[in-house]
């Protein structure tokens, strides 16, 4: 063989080898808790180094768990909820493998510093029982994620429940049948000023409240999210949150990252293994520890304690032992059906002409889900008897208005009436929102319910935002507006403005209206 031929052959081999090395990595999807969004740049950094396209979809831990139930397709290659107990409880077919904890995150109570001062909690040892007493005495209100959608809410709830029972180290079967315990916890959850399905969003709500003057007092959240919120509050020259670590025990999220085996082959699994190893190597763990997460023994030094905010990721904690899965299930059902602060929800549903066909069918299917207890119970968003539901179908005017309780027969009546709706006419959700406020007023004044207006729409509203805004301001700015958009021509901007004004949120219902509805339920 000539030298030229040899060179050519060698060049070809080299080009093939390089091509093999630098080929694009896989398309990879991770279902993650919202508290991990601050870690996403590290994930993306790794993905870019491998020329892989990574998508991180944020969901509540319980939603992630439900996606793992036998028969469901999680549509993801990896799951990263806040605590592994949810994987263990719901992944009965063991599709998730190679689960490793990336960090440890205790759920603590962040209290506005001046409030903590007023309660005598600066530098003091505070127990969950004392927090309970402050809430019962009307001296403290807090934000907390929904216990049936998010791990931080479930953790805070279980810790309060255990303290209410008087056995902070463990809730056992049988403890939940005592009426005095339930009364205590119901009283405690009256302290919930706002709820959400996402711990990250809850922290944003707290900060937004400082900016708009809504001024919340405290929130249950991960130590790391409290730190993150504080960094932003301090940058905005606002008062930071003071960290309360209950002496009698805190719940700990272990942030597990696991591979979902969907038969996508060796390359995808290998990519996952390398991603996990990247997140666990010393250098990355040091960056993770800098976000106030606690990392495994000896992996990296924890963030230093801060006396002003009392945040101290190196502080040794007594950890509340999670109860048995059956006890957790029972506790969550109790929360949803009996203990949480009852909700007052006005559903403004768009039945304008543009909804004809697919939109109308989707809408009615979503209402069928929302008002069928057997279906809502499956995913823990069922209504309780104390809840109040107001349905207001609208086009360019409100067609009718019906108020019902959350018991099964009332829901059935409401559904029966709703299913007769047919789409026609123009669109005006501002007027519908204002009408909803008027209808909600008597119950709002009693102060027992957690209110929300949900506007489901596929398009633009005629009329003016001031129609709603004036009524909302006059009513004491108490009710958040949530938007659910769907249909091909959905325009989010108008509902976005309403959500922004009122401290609500807009959900995309174009892929699954039912999913969007379930998400909204976490917020009231």
Partner 1 sequence: MAISRRAFGIGLLAASAAGTGGYVYLRQHPEIAGRFGEPKRLSGFAGGEKEGFLANTRVRSLLERRFGLILDARRAGSVEMVRERTLLDQKPQFLWPSSSVLVELARNSGVKISRDQVIFNSPIVLYSWDRIADGLVKGGFAEPAGGPRYTVDLLKVLKAIIAGETWEAMGVGGLFGRARVVSTDPNKSNSGFMFAGLVASLLSGDVIALDSLGRIDGEVATVFRRMGYKPPSSGKLFDDYVAGGAGAQPLIVGYENQLIEWVLQDAERWKRVEASAPSKPVILYPRPTAFSAHPLISTDRAADELIDALVSESLLELAWEEHGFRGPLGTIGKARNTLLQSRLIERVDQVLPMPDAPVMMALLDRLATA
In angstroms, give the least distance from the CB of 296 to partner 1: 5
Cα 427 from Cα 404, distance rounded (Å): 25
In angstroms, give the least distance from the CB of 97 to partner 1: 5
Is residue 286 part of the contact set for partner 1 (CB under 8 A)? Answer: no
The CA distances from residue 48 to 53, 227, 278, 280, in Å, are 7, 28, 13, 18
Helix, strand, coil percent content, the chain, rounded in steps of 5: 45, 20, 35
- 106 vs 483, which CB is nearer to partner 1? 106
3-state secondary structure of 242: strand
In angstroms, give the least distance from the CB of 134 to partner 1: 20
Stretch that binds partner 1, among 147-155, 210-218, 291-299, 336-344 (CB under 8 A): 291-299
- 229 vs 252, which CB is nearer to partner 1? 252
Is residue 151 part of the contact set for partner 1 (CB under 8 A)? Answer: no
Among positions 228-247, residues that touch partner 1 (CB under 8 A) are: 247
The CA distances from residue 317 to 122, 144, 230, 246, in Å, are 18, 21, 21, 9
Contacts of 193 (CB under 8 A, 6+ apart): 141, 142, 143, 216, 217
* Cα–Cα nearest to 128, from 117, 140, 112, 118: 140
Out of 9, 124, 173, 305, name the contact with partner 1 by CB under 8 A: 173
In angstroms, give the least distance from the CB of 332 to partner 1: 14
Is residue 178 part of the contact set for partner 1 (CB under 8 A)? Answer: no
- 163 vs 513, which CB is nearer to partner 1? 163
Distance from the Cα of residue 17 to its chain's centroid? 46
Is residue 93 part of the contact set for partner 1 (CB under 8 A)? Answer: yes
In angstroms, give the least distance from the CB of 173 to partner 1: 8
* SS3 track for 410-472: HHHHHHHHHCCCCCCCCCCHHHHHHHHHHHHHHHHHHCCCEEEEEEEECCCCCCCHHHHHHHH
Q: At what angle do helices 179-189 and 151-165 cross, to 10 degrees?
A: 130
Out of 51, 94, 358, 473, name the contact with partner 1 by CB under 8 A: 94
Q: The tokens 């009615």 sit on which residue?
A: 364
Is residue 88 part of the contact set for partner 1 (CB under 8 A)? Answer: yes
Distance from the Cα of residue 199 to its chain's centroid? 5
Out of 14, 70, 361, 474, name the contact with partner 1 by CB under 8 A: 70
- 224 vs 343, which CB is nearer to partner 1? 224
Among positions 241-280, residues that touch partner 1 (CB under 8 A) are: 247-249, 252, 254, 261, 273
Out of 296, 407, 424, 496, name the contact with partner 1 by CB under 8 A: 296
In this structure, the strands spanning 450-457 and 343-350 are parallel
Cα 78 from Cα 50, distance rounded (Å): 17
Contact flags string 315-354 toward partner 1, x per CB under 8 A: -xxxx-xxxxx--x--------------------------
In angstroms, give the least distance from the CB of 96 to partner 1: 9
Where b means 16+ CB within 10 Å and e means fewer, 230-254 reads: beebeeeebebbbbbbbbbbbbbbb
Which tokens in the block code for residue 378? 């499956």
- 326 vs 470, which CB is nearer to partner 1? 326
Is residue 104 part of the contact set for partner 1 (CB under 8 A)? Answer: yes
In angstroms, give the least distance from the CB of 421 to partner 1: 42
Among positions 425-454, residues that touch partner 1 (CB under 8 A) are: none
Binding region for partner 1 (CB under 8 A): 70, 84-85, 88, 92-94, 97-101, 104, 168-173, 247-249, 252, 254, 261, 273, 282, 295-299, 316-319, 321-325, 328
């Amino acid at each position: 063989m000539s030298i030229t031929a040899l060179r050519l052959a060698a060049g070809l081999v080299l080009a093939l080898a390089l091509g093999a090395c630098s080929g694009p990595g896989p398309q990879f999807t991770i279902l993650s808790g919202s508290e991990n969004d601050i870690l996403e740049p590290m994930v993306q950094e790794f993905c870019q180094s491998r020329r892989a396209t990574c998508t991180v979809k944020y969901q509540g831990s319980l939603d992630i768990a439900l996606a793992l139930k036998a028969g469901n397709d999680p549509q993801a290659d990896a799951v990263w909820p806040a605590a592994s107990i949810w994987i263990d409880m719901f992944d009965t077919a063991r599709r998730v493998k190679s689960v490793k904890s990336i960090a440890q995150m205790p759920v603590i109570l962040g209290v506005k510093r001046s409030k903590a001062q007023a309660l005598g909690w600066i530098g003091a040892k505070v127990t969950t029982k004392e927090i309970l007493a402050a809430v019962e005495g009307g001296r403290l209100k807090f934000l907390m994620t929904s216990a049936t959608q998010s791990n931080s809410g479930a953790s805070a709830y279980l810790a309060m429940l255990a303290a209410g029972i008087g056995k902070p180290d463990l809730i056992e079967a049988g403890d939940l049948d005592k009426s005095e315990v339930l009364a205590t916890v119901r009283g405690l959850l009256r302290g919930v000023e706002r709820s959400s399905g996402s711990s990250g969003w809850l922290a944003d709500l707290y900060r937004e409240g400082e900016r708009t003057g809504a001024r919340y007092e405290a929130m249950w959240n991960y130590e790391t999210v409290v730190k993150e919120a504080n960094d932003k509050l301090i940058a905005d020259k606002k008062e930071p949150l003071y960290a309360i670590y209950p002496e009698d025990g805190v719940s700990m999220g272990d942030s597990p990252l696991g591979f979902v085996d969907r038969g996508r082959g060796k390359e995808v699994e290998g990519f996952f293994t390398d991603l996990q190893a990247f997140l666990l190597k010393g250098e990355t763990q040091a960056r993770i520890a800098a976000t106030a997460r606690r990392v495994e023994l000896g992996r990296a030094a924890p963030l230093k304690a801060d006396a002003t905010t009392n945040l101290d990721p190196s502080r040794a904690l007594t950890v509340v032992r999670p109860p048995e899965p059956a006890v957790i299930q029972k506790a969550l059902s109790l929360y949803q059906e009996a203990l949480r602060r009852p909700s007052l929800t006005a559903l403004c549903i768009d039945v304008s002409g543009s909804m004809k066909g697919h939109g109308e069918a989707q809408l009615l299917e979503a209402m069928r889900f929302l008002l069928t207890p057997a279906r809502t119970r499956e995913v823990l968003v069922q209504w309780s008897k104390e809840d109040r539901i107001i349905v207001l179908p609208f086009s360019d005017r409100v067609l009718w208005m019906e108020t019902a309780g959350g018991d099964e027969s009332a829901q059935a009546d409401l559904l029966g009436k709703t299913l007769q709706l047919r789409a026609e006419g123009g669109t005006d959700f501002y007027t519908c929102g204002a009408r909803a406020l008027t209808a909600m007023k008597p119950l709002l004044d009693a102060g027992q319910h957690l209110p929300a207006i949900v506007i489901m729409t596929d398009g633009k509203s005629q009329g003016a935002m001031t129609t709603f805004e004036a009524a909302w301001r006059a009513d004491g700015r108490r009710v958040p507006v949530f938007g659910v958009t769907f249909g091909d021509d959905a325009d989010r901007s108008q509902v976005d403005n309403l959500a922004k004004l009122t401290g609500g949120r807009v959900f995309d219902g174009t892929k699954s209206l039912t999913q969007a509805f379930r998400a909204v339920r976490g917020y009231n």
